[in-house]
Structure 1
Amino acid sequence: MGNDNLISYEELRKIQALERDNKTLYKIDDTFFNRVKEYLAIKKKLIEQNKNSDNIFAKESVFTAEIELKNANKIIVDLASRRVRKIVMQALTNIYSRAHDTERMLNFEERFYYKILEELRTYIETFLSNFDESKQSLEIKKSEGEFLLIRFLEDVPKFAWKDGNDYGPFGKEDVANLPKEISEFLISQSKAVLMEVEDN
C-alpha cells in the first residue's frame, strides 16, 4: 500500500470524533486497519532509526512521533470500546426484531452482533422457562415465528430472503437462531446442521 493511502494522525482523531459524536456506528471502510497498521509501523520505524541521534531535529521528530504513537493507540482502544458498546446496545434493542441494520458494521462486527443476539435470546428464554406463566407467554412468542438453532458448516455471505430481510454474513462454525424456513433451506443445501437444544 502506498503512502498516498496512509492514514494521518489528524484523520484518526477525526474518525474518533465522528464515532464519539454519533449515536450510530461510523462507517469504517475495509482499508482502515491496514492503513492504521502502516501508520503505526512508520512511526515506530522513525523512532527506532533516530532515537540515538544527536541531531536536534531528529530528537524533535522522535519526541513528536512518540506522542503521536501513544495517542494513536489510545484512540484505537477508544474506538473499539465505543463501537462494541453501540453493537451491544443495538442487539439489546433488537432482540426479537426481524429487521437488523448492519450496514455500518464491518464483517466481523456483524458476526459478533448476531452472536450477541443469540446469547441474549438464549438467556431470556432460559430465564423465563423457569416460570410457568412465562413459559406460556414464551410459547406464544415462538408461535408468532418459529426459529431453529443451526450451526454453519461453511462461510455464507449476506443474503436476502423473501421476507424482505437480509441475513448474514455467517462464518464457518457460527451458531444462529434463524426462521425455520431459512434454517431448513440452509440445512438442505448442506451449509448448516440443526443444533439440538435441551429443555430445562
Structure 2
Amino acid sequence: MITYKDIYDIARNERYSKELQKLPASFIEDVSDYLREKKEAATRESDDISDMVTKTKKQLENAVTLFKELIIRRRKKILDLVLIASETGISKKDFDNMFGFEKELFDSLMNSVKLADGTMSEILNGKGKVNGGEKIVFKENVGELMDLTGEKIGPFKKDDVAELSKEIAKILVDDGKAEPAL
C-alpha cells in the first residue's frame, strides 16, 4: 500500500533528478487506490472529529497536487528526450523507465518530429512546398509508403496526424485509411 510519504518522496526524487526515474509498475494504480481510500475516509469521517476530516482532506489535496506535478515533470523530461533522441538516439535506460502510455507518447512525438524533419528536408531540397500538403488523421495503422517522388514515408499508427502531399492524402482518404484533419 502506498502512503502520502511515498508519493512525496517519489515526486521529490523526480524533481531533483535529471533522468526519468524508474517507478514501480503498479505506481499509478497504487496512487489511484490511495486517492480513492482518502476520498472515502474524508466522507466517512465527516461525522467524526472535524480535525481528522480536515487533515484527511488536506492530505488528499496535497497528494493530488504532488501527483499532477510528478506527471508534468515526467512529460517535460519525455519532451527533452524526444528532442535529444531525434538528434542522437535514446538510451535504453530512459526508455525502460517509462510507463506504457509514456512510451506511446514518446513514439507519437518522435513520429511527429520525424515527419516535420522530413517536410523541412523536402523544402530545403526543393522537393516540397511550405504548407503544400494536406493534413490527415489515420484511422488505422498504415505501413511504410512511397510518395510520388519515391521517398519512403511512414509507418503511421492509428490516430497519427500527418501532412502529406495532396495526391497521397487523397488516396489514403479514398481508401478509408485516413480522414482529413480539422
TM-score (norm 2): 0.68
Q: How far did residue 133 of structure 1 move?
A: 7.1
Whether the aligned pair in 1 keeps the contact of 2:84 and 2:90 (CA below 8 Å) is no
**In the alignment, is residue 150 of structure 1 matched against residue 155 of structure 2?**
yes
| Aligned match of 1:30 | 25
User: CA 1:199–1:124 in 2, change beyond 3 Å: closer, same or farther?
Assistant: farther
| Aligned match of 1:47 | 42
1:77-116 alignment runs, 5 A limit: 77-101=68-92, 102-116=95-109
1:1-200 alignment runs, 5 A limit: 6-53=1-48, 58-101=49-92, 102-132=95-125, 148-151=153-156, 173=158, 197-198=164-165
Whether the aligned pair in 1 keeps the contact of 2:19 and 2:77 (CA below 8 Å) is yes
Q: 1:105 is aligned with what amino acid?
A: M
User: CA 1:96–1:15 in 2, change beyond 3 Å: closer, same or farther?
Assistant: same
| Secondary structure of the corresponding residue to residue 29 of structure 1 | coil
TM-score (norm 1): 0.62
Whether the aligned pair in 1 keeps the contact of 2:86 and 2:114 (CA below 8 Å) is yes
Q: Distance in 2 between matches of 1:86 and 1:13?
A: 19
User: CA 1:78–1:117 in 2, change beyond 3 Å: closer, same or farther?
Assistant: same
| Aligned match of 1:165 | none
Whether the aligned pair in 1 keeps the contact of 2:14 and 2:21 (CA below 8 Å) is yes
Q: Distance in 2 between matches of 1:86 and 1:37?
A: 23
State the Cα deviation string for residues 84-117 of structure 1 (Å, max 9, x = none): 0000110101114455421101111111101101
Runs (4+) of structure 1 exceeding 2 A deviation are 96-101, 127-135, 195-200
Q: Distance in 2 between matches of 1:19 and 1:69?
A: 20
| Secondary structure of the corresponding residue to residue 73 of structure 1 | helix
Whether the aligned pair in 1 keeps the contact of 2:81 and 2:90 (CA below 8 Å) is no
| Aligned match of 1:182 | none
RMSD: 2.8
User: CA 1:90–1:147 in 2, change beyond 3 Å: closer, same or farther?
Assistant: farther
Whether the aligned pair in 1 keeps the contact of 2:2 and 2:30 (CA below 8 Å) is yes
Q: How far did residue 148 of structure 1 move?
A: 4.8
Where does the alignment leave 5 or more consecutive residues of structure 1 unmatched? 1-5, 136-145, 153-172, 176-194
Equivalenced residues, count = 142
Whether the aligned pair in 1 keeps the contact of 2:25 and 2:99 (CA below 8 Å) is yes
Where does the alignment leave 5 or more consecutive residues of structure 2 unmatched? 129-150, 168-182
State the Cα deviation string for residues 18-61 of structure 1 (Å, max 9, x = none): 101111111112211111111111111111112133xxxx2221
User: CA 1:114–1:147 in 2, change beyond 3 Å: closer, same or farther?
Assistant: farther
